[in-house]
Structure 1
Amino acid sequence: MPKYSCYSICIILLFASKMFGQKKTLQTQFTDEKISIDGKFDEKAWKSAQIATDFVMYAPYNGVPIPPEKKTEVKIVYTNEAIYVAASLYDDQPSEISRELTERDNFATADHFGVQLNGYNDGQQEFRFFVSAAGVQIDVFYTEANGEDVSWNAIWESKTQLTNFGWVVEMRIPYAALRFSTEKKQTWGLNFYREIRRDNQQYNWNLIRNEISSESNQAGILEGIENIKTPTRLFLIPFSSYYLHANKNQKTYGELKGGLDIKYGINDAFTLDAILIPDFGQTKFDNVELNLSAFEQQFAENRPFFTEGTDLFNKGDLLYTRRIGESPSIALADNETVDVYPNTIKLINALKVSGRTKGGLGIGVLNAVTEQTSVEVKNTDTNQTRLETLAPVTNYNVFVLDQRFNKNSSVSLTNTNVTRNGDFRDANVAALAWDLKTTANTFQMLGNFQYSLINDVEDTNGFKSYLEFNKTKGKYRYGIGGSYVSRDYDNNDLGINFQTHYHSFYGNVSYRILKPNKTFNSFKLSLNAASDYENDTGKTQNNYLNIGLNTYNTKNDYFGYGVNSRPFKVYDFYEPRSADDSKFVIYPEFYETWFFYSSNYIRKFAIDFNPTITFLNEKDRMNYGVFISPRYRFSDHLSLIYSFKFSRQNRNIGWVDFDDDGNTIFARRNRITYINTLQGKYSLNANMNLNLTVRHYWSYAVNHDYLTLQDDGTLTDNLIYNTNKNSNLNTWNLDLSYSWWFAPGSQVSVLYRNSSSLFSREYSRQFGSNFRDAINNENLSHVLSISVRYFIDYNTLKNSKFSKSFTKPKERIHF
């Protein structure tokens, strides 16, 4: 190599280490000028503001400077009320800028610009505000522990415009949407983000090195903010909803609801959220499935109050908020029925207080109260009825302390408590959790210790703990860990836990490329292994060895391939469902292979394709399935996504019943499942959207042979048992909604929903007849609802002319 080439490379590397090895700093300035959010940048304050530029690519070519034709320039100024951001995003092909319209908080296939602010500069959390080139807002609360929480919402303003050189963004972020210290002179963490969607390129102002798993630690610095105070953070959101219900079994009736959401800033750091007379009637429906397992189906939380800003409450992994207001089961005799069974228990009110002190101590309190609910139980032999309490008045409480330190580590203490009125079960669970990282974010130690105390007919207590070590930096990463769960550990009153009484060991190793090559933009190969053992006998409850390959090619199409295996037979202590917890059933080894392809969504037509096949180490046992989902974007306004999933389990073995002699009966069965979904959206503009979601789920299991479970875990043929235990479940859900954000934080939403669920022991293999049954049966219900929510900011109200007319001094009247 020529000598001058060596000198050039050394100079470039020295320049890169200087440029990328230090945090960038942007100096902002105060203005008392009124700035209009119009995307024009014609105020004087913008002309003298310092410019943040020299963006650097995050992906796919980590560390490469942004090309001159796509340069990005950002300015920040501040007032006594808000931070203002002006960004000029150059593009050599303005007509090719991706501008898909969507509902709020959906990135879709559009170019984006974002600002990421950390008022404490503690390297662990950020408030992120993004705007698409189509003007759609996305706000995100980011933490190192849980990543991006898109459910968090704030009230802020933005405006975008296309220009002859690219596009521009102007933003106003009020201090009420942020958290920062009370220091006279502020130093904030700051980064900017830009995504050029057609090239699948992502840029940051301050380089985020992809060899390090921590993002917020790699932000730049914002200086110059002085003498600002958090305004009174009092937001009132009154709402009113009207529901019109109809189905074949009852008369059409209307229902009017109203309530109030309150958000109040107790001080600079802590916020109170409360809902009085909650209404969750327009939340997304659950994807109910035919559940033949020994465990309940776990559902996603769709209620906004329990999804927004819950980062603190998830510390210790004790909280499953679907417990709050869920409808518990009731034990009925064979000759008893319940005509009207509530889907949920009514929530009376709920509140949460959360925040973090200057010293990094996070404090969170969540409380919710549900009402007493009773059902009428009828004896079908005597026609007599009795009133049975389904759920008493119940108080749910969560308390969290979380101490952050070293800008990348934390230790937390969490306690959950469920208190039921009267002689009903109470529960208390506590957890100590830690997440410790080295200064360079190279190694991590994770763990927790959980303790449960149940007050019931018989009091019990138990514990659960795990500890793991991970290498979190570089091309090669690995981890190892273990856990222990005692027999009587139980967090299911306010959490969810499926298995107890076992100990486990697990590990992983992975390799990834940090720079694209001629074939791949990204490439990751991973190996995971684990084994669980029952505490008393040492029998293997579970084991797996999985190999996975995940890649993006140079056209940003995704390819995934893997092999999942259970190399050794397992002893399942849960499927027998017996009061004798020493009973188990032996299940064989299996090997599963899968492939996943997802074409780049930037294309008008894209498709996801995922076939799987599983071989079990028993005669004629094989499972297979396929998922296929084409999508088409007709325009920036209109798109449709269709998904089809099919799976078949041949000669699946599972529990079905107990016979009259107390024997545990299993069945050898074939199970077939079809899931069809259709999602469509039409966005009139950035604030007005129409959405359609349709789902038809059909699954049936046909029992061919009945088997008796033996004490040694094997199964023998049972030629006597002949009860029909086939299962056939059809569910149908259709949601058609219209949403209009007519003012910041204020929304009108109209929803038409029809749904049904039909379970039967009889079945038909004809798809058409099952589909007709799903949409044409006595259980099919129709609901039309209209909801209006109006956002009231105390500061705006206080400064309004209407308010001032009441506070203006009046002339003294003399008599």
Structure 2
Amino acid sequence: MALRFALFFAFLSHALLFSQNNTSNDALTGPTSGIAGKKKLTSLFTKEKITVDGNMNEAIWANAETASDFIMYQPDNGKPLPYDKRTEVKILYDNEAIYIGAKMYDDPTKILKEITERDNFGTSDFFGIFINGYNDGQQDYRFFVSAAGTQMDCLATDDGEDYSWDGIWHSNVSMTDFGWIAEMKIPYAALRFSEKEKQNWGMNLFREIRRDRQKYTWNYINTKMGTFTQQAGVLEGIENIKPPTRLFLMPYVSIYENTNDNGNETKFKAGLDVKYGINDSFTLDAILVPDFGQTAFDNVTLNLGPFEQQFNENRPFFTEGTDLFNKGDLLYTRRIGSAPSTYPNTTDEQKVLDYPANVNLLNALKISGRTAKGLGIGVLNAITEKTDVTIETQTAIPNADPSLPPTIKYNYRKQTVEPLANYNVIVLDQRFRKNSSVSLINTNVMRDGHFNDANVTGALFDLNTKANSYNLSGDFKYSYINQMGTNENLNGYRAYLNFGKTSGKFRFNANGSYVNNEFDINDLGINYINNYHHLYNNVSYRILNPNKMFNSFNINLNSYAEMNNTTGRAQETYFNLNVNMTGKKNDFVGIGIQLEPFVTYDFYQPIASGRFVYNPRAFKSWIDISSNYNRKLALDTGIWYHIMDQDKRNTVGFYFNPRYRFSNKALGILGFEVDRRNDDKGRVDYVDADPNDNIQGDVIFANRNRNTITTSFTGKYSISPKMTVNVKARYYWSYAENLNFLVLTSNGYFEPDDNYSKNKNSNFKTWNLDLSYSWWVAPGSQLSVLYRNNAIHYENIINKKFIDNLDHTIANNLNNTLSVSFRYCIDYNSTKNWFKA
């Protein structure tokens, strides 16, 4: 109780202190008076054919209205763009698309123009247009083109940008004696808008001058307001256009040749992706016979803790356009098609022969969009196939001659480890006042047969004041698991509440939650712990415009306390202070310290009901440095040091990642990271213990040293903005050497265990290499060739020689795969006349 009171008092004092100092600096004014209103631009209809060649040669361009007078967004918010770097933008439209022509004035010899693959801005100047067809401040369609000709596009809300979305549009650029020109053609099929006769779209224009790291917008974006999409200007003049039929068919063919110690295997796949605009607001995405064989590899690590490793989602279908489905953090799409949910119970005489790493995904679809009244609706559904394994049973039959060994008889049977399963997500998100929302999310997993079903429902609210100065948000989530084969069902819940000041130099927020013992979303989501409540506080100060020393500066003070519901003991407590700053030459430095002044207790590491282990007081510190990427040679580096009030227990580590841009086409990045944990403590075994029993038997821990070294290389050579060769290699080596064993006592501390003698050392290595060639043959159509080799090796023998471990890993059944995949996008609007007489 004293600890909770102390943390609450600390938060209250900081909040009062900062609120007293928060004066007129928070006023929503900028250095340029009168720029807060919405600018307007009138587009011009054209019957002339526009060739998107980056030249703007057509006569009609001279008659179009010009958008100019750009204002700096970052770093010196509100400062006008100098005349010698002015930007002039004109917009035309016809019955098929809108056309954007932009002239960027600058010294041509100083314009940065690194060629990169799609959606990678790189070290290059770029121009962009943001379009909201409903002008409701909810969601932008953003299209960028770099000075090198690379396309980038995304869907954007105030919650973030989703670059996994790829629209079908056209662009080109040209260098001139006054700077550079960008031309874009954006078909109406790539946008969303109403059927009104006269269109008024929300629009903003964007430009970055990369060498100065300066970003400008046409309509002024006041950074003090904490919102972006609602500060757009207006595009007028578009009349009598009709939303087209938005139907895209994307057939693909792939071939895989796999070679390892077990032999060769050739696989051929073919399938179809469908994208269909149901109406002006909603889109259907479906995959039939999916192929994810060329997705990026996972950065697997040695996991000695009680929780699974969480991986990034790399499958395009599950990353594109998922902003609605990510609300509430109830969806972890890697569950769909992951390893089976059960593992067979076997005896000593039985062996599981073919347990799969994942279950095949049969098909998936999602429907998402938002109505004119701000109601967002999302439905995601996926089906995975029934999966069986083979169980081998060995039976010893005594020989008639006792002097001869028995005859071994083998029997085989099939057992289902995952039935046909249906995964479903439904999201309703009602926005109002353009900056607030209430949401309802439901996730459901239904499995056929004697397997668990699961259902989770969450209700969320996110409320902001009209000026976006304060935020009140929270949620309530309820989980239900139907445990087939038992009479017990799990009913869990979580409640969360947050309040904060979200604008101005001084900001703060405080939040708390309560999670009961049976809250579990892991059938379709991911959460590691339950049965706790927490209180978090944050106060921060930042500069809103550059000063004599910094382009940006931010200092944060945080406190956190987490308590176990059953015992009332603290599970985690800390105070930390971190400072992040960018200097005048755009070099970044981040510094932090964290104090953990109280003994806490870990109720999860023992993985046994009623057991816990104490964590000592600790002090942590870190520093991160990132030099300006505009330089040919740049560096990301950092170091951390943690010391604990227990024996000689500490952690020290560093990373060193230099990057060199050989030319506008070639870039290489080296990665090297070392982490050493001395006298670490971790669970290794049970002795006469059942993890489901309450304080029965012994839980064995090890006092160990753990070293981890990760080396990597990432490189790219861009032949053109549409054709790139990429290489990515990673070697990960981590070993844990046990010094002595300990038995966990009932009060969470340790006693020496001199009787335990099993070899529980861990030596884990992984190697991955991807070499790929990608060619965007046409908008939305891609040819990709991938060569991949990978290996994984685990043993209990500790070998501390780096090269020896690498050799052993590569020699351990290295897997080689060569794959070729071709995906072609067929736009219904371009092909509907093919079959007419």
Deviation at 1:14, TM superposition (A): 11
- Say if 2:30 and 2:78, in contact at 8 Å, map to a contact too: no
Residue 535 of structure 2 corresponds to residue 505 of structure 1: yes
What is the letter of the counterpart of residue 552 of structure 1?
Answer: T
Instruction: After superposing the two structures, state which structure 1 stretch, 371-380 or 589-598, moved more.
Output: 371-380
Deviation at 1:123, TM superposition (A): 1.4
Work out which of the residue numbers 201, 209, 227 in structure 2 matches 1:214: 227
Per-residue deviation, residues 593-643 of structure 1 (Å, max 9, x unmatched) = 101111100000001110111110112111100011001000001110000
2:675 matched residue in structure 1: 647
1:694 matched residue in structure 2: 729
Deviation at 1:122, TM superposition (A): 1.5
Per-residue deviation, residues 199-227 of structure 1 (Å, max 9, x unmatched) = 11111111112222111111111111222
Structure 1 residues 334 and 630 mapped into 2: Cα distance closer, same or farther (>3 Å)? farther
Alignment of 1:137-176 (within 5 A): 137-145=151-159, 147-176=160-189
Deviation at 1:423, TM superposition (A): 1.4
1:262 matched residue in structure 2: 274
Residue 643 of structure 2 corresponds to residue 610 of structure 1: no
1:794 matched residue in structure 2: 828
What is the letter of the counterpart of residue 135 of structure 2?
Answer: N
In structure 2, distance between residues paired with 1:21 and 1:88: 24
Work out which of the residue numbers 144, 155, 180 in structure 1 matches 2:193: 180
Deviation at 1:106, TM superposition (A): 0.2
Instruction: After superposing the two structures, state which structure 1 stretch, 32-41 or 430-439, moved more.
Output: 32-41
Work out which of the residue numbers 545, 552, 555 in structure 2 matches 1:525: 555
Per-residue deviation, residues 404-456 of structure 1 (Å, max 9, x unmatched) = 11011111101000000111100010111111100000001111111111111
1:811 matched residue in structure 2: none
- Say if 2:647 and 2:679, in contact at 8 Å, map to a contact too: no
Gaps of 5+ in 2: 1-27, 397-409, 690-696
1:372 matched residue in structure 2: 386
What is the letter of the counterpart of residue 647 of structure 1?
Answer: D
1:424 matched residue in structure 2: 451
Work out which of the residue numbers 601, 605, 615 in structure 1 matches 2:629: 601
Structure 1 residues 593 and 334 mapped into 2: Cα distance closer, same or farther (>3 Å)? farther
2:23 matched residue in structure 1: none
1:415 matched residue in structure 2: 442
Deviation at 1:42, TM superposition (A): 2.0
2:37 matched residue in structure 1: 22
SS class of match (1:305)? helix
Residue 286 of structure 2 corresponds to residue 277 of structure 1: no
- Say if 2:55 and 2:173, in contact at 8 Å, map to a contact too: no
Residue 308 of structure 2 corresponds to residue 296 of structure 1: yes
Work out which of the residue numbers 300, 308, 316 in structure 1 matches 2:328: 316
1:738 matched residue in structure 2: 773
Residue 202 of structure 2 corresponds to residue 223 of structure 1: no
Deviation at 1:460, TM superposition (A): 1.4
- Say if 1:639 and 1:682, in contact at 8 Å, map to a contact too: yes
Structure 1 residues 380 and 681 mapped into 2: Cα distance closer, same or farther (>3 Å)? farther
Work out which of the residue numbers 594, 599, 603 in structure 2 matches 1:569: 599
Structure 1 residues 68 and 349 mapped into 2: Cα distance closer, same or farther (>3 Å)? same
Deviation at 1:334, TM superposition (A): 6.5
What is the letter of the counterpart of residue 82 of structure 1?
Answer: A
Work out which of the residue numbers 575, 587, 591 in structure 1 matches 2:619: 591
Instruction: After superposing the two structures, state which structure 1 stretch, 694-703 or 334-343, moved more.
Output: 334-343
1:766 matched residue in structure 2: 801
In structure 1, distance between residues paired with 2:577 and 2:641: 15
In structure 1, distance between residues paired with 2:272 and 2:74: 44
What is the letter of the counterpart of residue 300 of structure 1?
Answer: N
2:366 matched residue in structure 1: 352
**What percentage of aligned pairs have identical amino acids?**
53
1:812 matched residue in structure 2: none
Deviation at 1:96, TM superposition (A): 1.6
SS class of match (1:51)? coil
Work out which of the residue numbers 337, 343, 350 in structure 1 matches 2:351: 337
Q: Please give the root-mean-square deviation of Cα atoms over the aligned residues, in Å.
A: 1.4
In structure 2, distance between residues paired with 1:55 and 1:489: 51
Alignment of 1:443-482 (within 5 A): 443-456=470-483, 457=486, 458-482=488-512
SS class of match (2:34)? helix
1:134 matched residue in structure 2: 148
1:776 matched residue in structure 2: 811
Structure 1 residues 70 and 17 mapped into 2: Cα distance closer, same or farther (>3 Å)? closer
What is the letter of the counterpart of residue 470 of structure 1?
Answer: G
When normalised by structure 1's length, the TM-score is 0.95
- Say if 1:273 and 1:352, in contact at 8 Å, map to a contact too: yes
Structure 1 residues 331 and 575 mapped into 2: Cα distance closer, same or farther (>3 Å)? farther
Residue 708 of structure 2 corresponds to residue 706 of structure 1: no
Per-residue deviation, residues 651-690 of structure 1 (Å, max 9, x unmatched) = 0001110013631111111000000000010000000000
- Say if 2:30 and 2:222, in contact at 8 Å, map to a contact too: no
In structure 2, distance between residues paired with 1:392 and 1:503: 36
Aligned length: 785
In structure 1, distance between residues paired with 2:84 and 2:358: 57
1:45 matched residue in structure 2: 60
What is the letter of the counterpart of residue 408 of structure 1?
Answer: N
In structure 2, distance between residues paired with 1:658 and 1:333: 19
Deviation at 1:583, TM superposition (A): 1.4
What is the letter of the counterpart of residue 389 of structure 1?
Answer: T
SS class of match (2:831)? helix
SS class of match (2:328)? coil
- Say if 1:350 and 1:369, in contact at 8 Å, map to a contact too: yes
Residue 649 of structure 2 corresponds to residue 635 of structure 1: no
What is the letter of the counterpart of residue 610 of structure 1?
Answer: G
SS class of match (1:565)? strand
In structure 2, distance between residues paired with 1:670 and 1:306: 39
- Say if 1:659 and 1:721, in contact at 8 Å, map to a contact too: no
In structure 2, distance between residues paired with 1:310 and 1:87: 31
Instruction: After superposing the two structures, state which structure 1 stretch, 268-277 or 539-548, moved more.
Output: 539-548
SS class of match (2:211)? helix
SS class of match (2:511)? strand
Per-residue deviation, residues 169-198 of structure 1 (Å, max 9, x unmatched) = 000111111111222222211111101111
Per-residue deviation, residues 477-531 of structure 1 (Å, max 9, x unmatched) = 0001110101111111000011101111101011001111111111000111111
1:516 matched residue in structure 2: 546
Work out which of the residue numbers 781, 786, 794 in structure 2 matches 1:751: 786
1:813 matched residue in structure 2: none
What is the letter of the counterpart of residue 256 of structure 1?
Answer: F
What is the letter of the counterpart of residue 46 of structure 2?
Answer: T
Residue 758 of structure 2 corresponds to residue 723 of structure 1: yes
Gaps of 5+ in 1: 1-12, 809-815
Deviation at 1:333, TM superposition (A): 4.1
In structure 2, distance between residues paired with 1:119 and 1:422: 47
Work out which of the residue numbers 244, 263, 268 in structure 1 matches 2:257: 244
Instruction: After superposing the two structures, state which structure 1 stretch, 369-378 or 549-558, moved more.
Output: 369-378
- Say if 2:32 and 2:79, in contact at 8 Å, map to a contact too: no
In structure 2, distance between residues paired with 1:275 and 1:658: 45
2:105 matched residue in structure 1: 90
SS class of match (1:217)? helix
2:588 matched residue in structure 1: 558
Structure 1 residues 771 and 559 mapped into 2: Cα distance closer, same or farther (>3 Å)? same
Deviation at 1:354, TM superposition (A): 0.6
2:202 matched residue in structure 1: 189
Structure 1 residues 463 and 400 mapped into 2: Cα distance closer, same or farther (>3 Å)? same
SS class of match (1:316)? helix
In structure 2, distance between residues paired with 1:212 and 1:649: 44
Alignment of 1:96-135 (within 5 A): 96-135=110-149
In structure 2, distance between residues paired with 1:105 and 1:19: 35
Instruction: After superposing the two structures, state which structure 1 stretch, 335-344 or 234-243, moved more.
Output: 335-344
Deviation at 1:32, TM superposition (A): 2.5
- Say if 1:272 and 1:352, in contact at 8 Å, map to a contact too: yes
Deviation at 1:19, TM superposition (A): 3.1
